Amino acid sequence: MRYCWLCGGPETSADPMDTHHIFGGSNRKKSERMGLTVDLHHNKCHIFGKKAVHNCAETMQALHEYGQRLAMENMGWDKDTFRREFGKNYL
Ligand SMILES: [Zn+2]
Ligand SMILES: [Zn+2]
């Protein structure tokens, strides 16, 4: 069972899960390789909902912070190393 990063709920047939890359654009491949992806309900939490990642700057920022912490922890990086790798410090 897949659970949503944003609302914590399980996948439903009405709103299936998408895999969202925490860092997109030129960092998308790196996100994929480092496992920096999350599951999100396609409608409510990924694209269309009021708090959906692609619809709400606050949620996007929270997810970037989460992703940076995760990357730093997994890789043993500090903030400067993260900035070098991903082009920005989100914390
Ligand atoms: Zn959700
Ligand atoms: Zn996405």
In a domain, 7, yes or no: no
20 residue type, one letter: H
Cα 39 to middle of ligand 2, angstroms: 9
In a domain, 1, yes or no: no
Question: Of the bound ligands, which one is closest to the alpha carbon of residue 49?
Answer: 1
Averaged over 32-59, what is the pLDDT? 98
DSSP 67: H
Cα 18 to middle of ligand 1, angstroms: 10
Percent of the chain whose pLDDT exceeds 70: 100
In a domain, 3, yes or no: no
Measured N-to-C along each axis, helices 57-75 and 79-86 cross at an angle, to the nearest 10 degrees, of 110
Model pLDDT, residue 23: 97
Cα 83 to middle of ligand 2, angstroms: 21
Q: Output the average pLDDT for the chain.
A: 97
**What are the tokens at 3?**
């659970």
In a domain, 82, yes or no: yes
Quickly state the pLDDT bin for 4 (edges 50, 70, 90): very high
What is the domain range of residue 65? 17-86
Question: Of the bound ligands, which one is closest to the alpha carbon of residue 39?
Answer: 1
Give the Cα-Cα-Cα angle 62, 12, 55 (nearest 5 degrees).
Answer: 30
Averaged over 36-48, what is the pLDDT? 98
Kindly report the backbone phi and psi dihedral angles of residue 10, in degrees, each rounded to the nearest multiple of 5, phi listed first. -80, 165
In a domain, 10, yes or no: no
Strand partners, 83: none
Averaged over 64-75, what is the pLDDT? 97
pTM equals: 0.93
Are residues 66 and 90 in contact, defined by beta-carbon separation less than 8 angstroms?
A: no
Cα 54 to middle of ligand 1, angstroms: 13
Which is it for the CA torsion 64, 39, 21, 34, positive or negative? positive
In a domain, 28, yes or no: yes
Q: How many domains does the chain have?
A: 1
